[in-house]
Structure 1
Amino acid sequence: MPFDLGDTVRLAADCKNAGGTLTDATSVALTITLPDGSTASPAVTNPPGQTGKYTLDYTSTQAGRHAVRWVFTGPASAYTDSFDVREASPPAILSLADAKAHLDITTTTEDDELRGWIEAVTHLVEQFTGVCARGTVVEDHSIQPSGVRELALRRTPVLSLTSAVAILTGGTSYTVGDLDVDTRMGIVRLRSGGRMYGPLRITYTAGRAVIPANITAAAKIILQHLWRTQYGASRALAGIGGGDDFNVTEPIAGFGYAIPNRALQLLEPHRLPPGVA
């Protein structure tokens, strides 16, 4: 499960000799490859507090996948692992409290796993409705040499434009105040009615200031549906919902297994028109 940005991640590795016995190494090197490709090589206490069992607490500074490589000498041994760090504000269509209330979960044991499912459900719902959780989007748009009168942003609905900057040296940038945006469709135009020239790098905020109740209700149903996949046939499922459209082994035509019928019906009033993401 991913860590939050800024969390302390406990890294651990065992050093064993050729016979499989835990052994203190003569030397130990730890290399962490960060998401941007840079590396960190923090000093590891040697010998460790317990024979052959090495640990290091690393404070995360970047979001994304981290690769971890331990190399021991005397005896020669190595171990490779990885961990993920969430972005500072991961998209979440539901709060953890709302999700737990819907699933009748009263303990904190499964909080981290549940947060991961909330993020997954958020992306799933946004396939149908457009962006729900507010976030910053940066897009590059190629524009034909003759220019265009309208430019379609890829993520909708749009809350606000931040900038429209020329990518090439000498290109034309545009002041946000000179632009109009159709927030639902994501269409950008010059208020003057003129043509825009590019290529342009456009930064904007997409999402919803208020997420409609039918969307959050659908998200809860999908979450409940997917949460059931953790439970084997021997586990009682009555406490986390039921019904034909919750059968995780029965696909819905055109949608597969992840979207129950009742969730689709709830999302229908806010379904994206064809060709809009």
Structure 2
Amino acid sequence: MPIVSLAKAKEHLNIDVADYDAELTGYLGAATEVVEHYVGAVEPRSLTERYSGAGTAELILRHPPVQAVTAVVENGTALAAADYSLSDSGVLVRMAGHRPRVWPYGRNNITVDCTAGRANVLDNYVLAGLIIIGHLWETQRGSGGSPLPGGSNDNMLFTPNFSFAIPRRAVELLQTSRIPGV
């Protein structure tokens, strides 16, 4: 699910027709992926992930933050909730009583069902998403530009907003809550 609704993106861009809905929908998905690259999962969603046991007690889940783990299957056997523990940072620890236990070696032998994302989407995530969507929109519409230095070809334009994918101001909004390792 996108971090920003189509209606909110159209309002931000001052678009009141449906002519561009398909194009904007692509931008919504792209902006969501960028935001989640910086801060981890945003909109809550259920995931099923497979991991390979490597003889350690910890599995680092791929989509932090994780709200809850709903099921863990190890080598075809469902584990009880007491058999694992989830840390705030999205690390799943195999437990034996009150002590960590090693996940068994194997290739894709551990399946984890979880809910990733946040209960509340922060305003800076939404604003960063809108900035990215606005930037993607502008790069498709063109906004003029200056001739390249020393160039005489009128078709050769230098437009600063074409030189990068993510505006710095969006990145700065996301840096305040970046999850280490994401």
TM-score scaled to structure 2, two decimals?
A: 0.80
Is 2:132 the partner of 1:222? yes
> Aligned runs of 1:33-52 on 2, under 5 Å?
none
Once residues 81 and 160 of structure 2 are traced to their aligned partners in structure 1, the CA distance between those partners, rounded to angstroms, is 49
Residue of structure 2 in register with 1:153 after alignment: 61
1:179 matches 2:87: no
**Displacement after TM superposition at 1:93 (Å):** 0.4
- SS of the residue 1:136 aligns to: strand
Judge conservation of contact 1:149–1:193 (CA < 8 Å) in 2: no
Q: Distance in 1 between matches of 2:53 and 2:34?
A: 30
Deviations 1:98-122 (A, max 9, x none): 1111111112221222112101110
Cα gap change, 1:260 to 1:232, in 2 (>3 Å): closer
Matches of residues 68-79 of structure 1 in structure 2 within 5 Å? none
Matched, 1:261 2:181: no
CA distance in 1, matches of 2:124, 2:8: 14
Aligned structure 1 segments of 4 or more residues deviating by more than 3 angstroms = none
1:179 shift after superposition:
2.6
What SS class does the counterpart of residue 85 from structure 2 fall into?
A: strand
1:240 is matched with none
Q: Which runs of 5+ in 1 are unaligned?
A: 1-90, 235-245, 251-256
- Residue 192 in structure 1 maps to residue 105 in structure 2: no
Q: Distance in 2 between matches of 1:226 and 1:94?
A: 14
CA distance in 2, matches of 1:194, 1:272: 24
In structure 1, distance between residues paired with 2:170 and 2:58: 34
Q: What TM-score do you get using the length of structure 1 for normalisation?
A: 0.54
The structural deviation recorded for 1:177 is: 4.5
Work out which of the two has the higher radius of gyration on C-alpha atoms and give 1 or 2: 1
Q: Which amino acid aligns with 1:263?
A: A
- 8 Å contact 1:164–1:201 — kept in the other structure? yes
Q: Distance in 2 between matches of 1:217 and 1:181?
A: 30
Deviation string 1:183-229 (CA, Å, 9 cap, x unpaired) is: 3x211123622314333111111111111111111111011001112
Residue type of the alignment partner of 2:99: G
Would the alpha carbon gap of residues 233 and 268 (structure 1) be closer, same or farther in structure 2, given more than 3 Å must change? closer
Q: In structure 2, how many angstroms separate the alpha carbons of the residues matched to 1:110 and 1:264?
A: 26
Distance 2:9 2:122 in 1: 16
Identity %: 35
Amino acid in the other structure paired with 1:272: I
The answer as to whether partners of 1:226 and 1:248 remain within 8 angstroms in 2 is: no
Question: Contact 1:166–1:200 (CA<8 Å) still a contact in 2?
Answer: yes
1:180 Cα offset (Å) = 2.1
1:249 aligns with 2:162: yes
Cα distance in structure 2, aligned partners of 1:214 and 1:230:
25
Q: Take 1:104 and 1:247, find their aligned partners in 2: how far apart are those partners?
A: 22
Alignment of 1:67-216 (within 5 A): 91-144=1-54, 147-168=55-76, 172-183=77-88, 185-189=89-93, 190=95, 192-198=98-104, 199-216=109-126
CA RMSD of aligned residues (A): 2.2
- Structure 1, 187-196 or 120-129: larger mean CA deviation: 187-196
Comparing both structures, which one devotes a greater share of its residues to helix?
2
| Deviation at residue 176 of structure 1 after TM alignment | 2.7
8 Å Cα contact 1:178/1:192 also seen in 2: no
Give the number of aligned pairs.
Answer: 163
**Other structure's SS at 1:124 match:** helix
